[in-house]
Amino acid sequence: MILWGGRGVVDVVGPLGEGERAELTCRSKGGRPPPTLTWTRRGQRLPLLAYNTSSSLDPEKFWVEARVAIVGSRDLLGSTLSCHAHMPSLAQVHTTLPQMQTASVIVNVTLPPVTVRILGPGAAASAGTELRLTCRAAGSHPPAQLTWWSGHKRLSQVSYAVEAGGNVTSATLTLLVDREHNGATLTCTAANPALPGERNLSDSIRLSVYYAPVVDLSMGRPLDPGSLKEGDDVYFECSIIANPPYKRVIWYHNGAVVGHNVSSGVVVSRQSLILRHLNREHSGSYTCGATNHEGHNTSNAVILSVKHAPVCAGTGRERTQGAPRGSTASIKCTVEAEPAENIRWSWIRKRADGTEEEVPDEDVRVDGLSSSVLVTPHTPEDYGRFLCVASNDVGEQREACVVTLVPAGPPDAPTNCSVSPADPSTVHAHPTTAALTITCLEGI
């Protein structure tokens, strides 16, 4: 029988740690004359550490022991150690017992992994695609335990395989990558579960994830968007994150491309847009867009509202409106203004006879950005020009809006008609014809 640490072992000795020393004792009981014991490995004799025999003369109690020492190693893993009991030759002893008996054990050694390596087509991928990376470890006994990590987070989408009788372990990671993975370090760690914390091996890889630009637009600091008015300057900053780097930036105002035009006060400098000497036409929605070979993206919209004094709405500040005599006409004035609240109005009436008067407030109607007055013309002097001027918190309208009220409808009957003889030259040309001249004042 074979003893290890004073206890009998069958089939397997261990597990031994790498570098751990162990003594094995082979013991044979009985037999006369006593057998000779030897230890072998791969057919080679092992040096004996000790060889002892009992002092008892009783054949039932007589024993022989042979002890060897082994040290756990990779070379020893799985080796078969055999102890042989050689009986004296038949020429010396006549017996029916076998001439040699053998007891064997296999040595089990616990070993850490010796290599770990990440395999795969590469660590570059486009966002939204799957990346497959395989980690392979070798040399561990029992088989290595592999884990994948992103920083301190353990990744779970992993499939495992064991090859070469347990000597090689692989773990394949399937990762749906997005832009947050760009620059991330993935680590595969190999450990022997029987040797916690001892000689763990790791291999790492840095990811490069390609994605279309991520674009964000903001108004430059320390500008206050709520206080911008005509004549001020403003600038926008377009923040772009992209891999690979963006190729170009495009600026938009209300969906139309903004071009570099210094003479108009528009300065485009890659990720900055500068507008000098603002006017109300600059108001609206601004965006920026960036492009790389992964695609094109447009930023959020930033609304620019330029405060300005009221101006006449529409294409012109003067228009003509007709009204029949005796009918009431509503003369309306509409402006554009920012802010559009607290609009104050004043009206001036310039009659056809040249007189001028301010329209009383009680005759003025106000509806936000519009104002109107009611007029009932009875005489030609009631027609003429009406001027409206609006003001807000920014200032007063520079040029008044003008509505010219003119007669409308069929004219009145002629008045003050008089009859006079015809021109004598006409009578001589047509002696048989009588002629009169009638003169009237035209109706309104």
With 0-12 / 13-18 / 19 or more C-beta atoms within 10 angstroms meaning exposed / middle / buried, residue 232 is middle
Q: Look at residue 91 in the predicted model and tell me its pLDDT.
A: 47
Q: Look at residue 414 in the predicted model and tell me its pLDDT.
A: 72
**Alpha carbon of 72 to those of 20, 42, 79, 103: distances in Å?**
5, 16, 11, 20
Say which DSSP state 398 is in.
S
Q: What percent of the chain has pLDDT over 70?
A: 91
425 — pLDDT class (breaks 50, 70, 90): low
Q: Which residue has the higher pLDDT, 195 or 348?
A: 348
Give residue-wise pLDDT tens across range 271-284: 999 999 999 999 99
What is the DSSP code string of 343-397?
-EEEEEEEETTS-EEEPPGGGEEEETTEEEEEE---SGGG-EEEEEEEE-SS-B-
431 — pLDDT class (breaks 50, 70, 90): low
**CB contact at 8 A, 235 and 275:** yes
Say which DSSP state 134 is in.
E
Q: Look at residue 4 in the predicted model and tell me its pLDDT.
A: 85
**CB contact at 8 A, 233 and 227:** no
Six token digits for residue 247: 């190729």
**Alpha carbon of 280 to those of 254, 283, 302, 393: distances in Å?**
14, 6, 16, 15
Pairing of strands 318-323, 401-407: parallel
Give residue-wise pLDDT tens across range 102-161: 899 999 999 999 999 998 767 789 999 999 999 999 999 999 999 999 989 999 999 999
Looking at residues 226-253, what average pLDDT do you find? 93
**Alpha carbon of 200 to those of 146, 159, 205: distances in Å?**
10, 20, 17
Please name the residues in contact with 401: beta carbons below 8 A apart, sequence gap of 6 or more: 312, 317, 318, 333, 334, 335, 387, 388, 389
- The C-alpha atoms of residue 187 and residue 118 are separated, in whole angstroms, by 9
439 — pLDDT class (breaks 50, 70, 90): confident
Q: Look at residue 417 in the predicted model and tell me its pLDDT.
A: 81
- Res 54 pLDDT > 90: no
Single out the residue of 245, 127, 118 nearest to residue 182, CA to CA: 127
- Enumerate the β-bridge partners of residue 419: 438
- Enumerate the β-bridge partners of residue 25: 3, 67
Q: Look at residue 200 in the predicted model and tell me its pLDDT.
A: 86
Q: Look at residue 59 in the predicted model and tell me its pLDDT.
A: 66
Q: Which structural domains are found in the chain, ordered by start?
A: 2-110 (2.60.40.10), 115-206 (2.60.40.10), 212-306 (2.60.40.10), 310-407 (2.60.40.10), 413-444 (no CATH)
Six token digits for residue 433: 């014809």
Looking at residues 227-232, what average pLDDT do you find? 89
When mean pLDDT is compared across 60-69, 353-362, 435-444, the lowest value belongs to 435-444
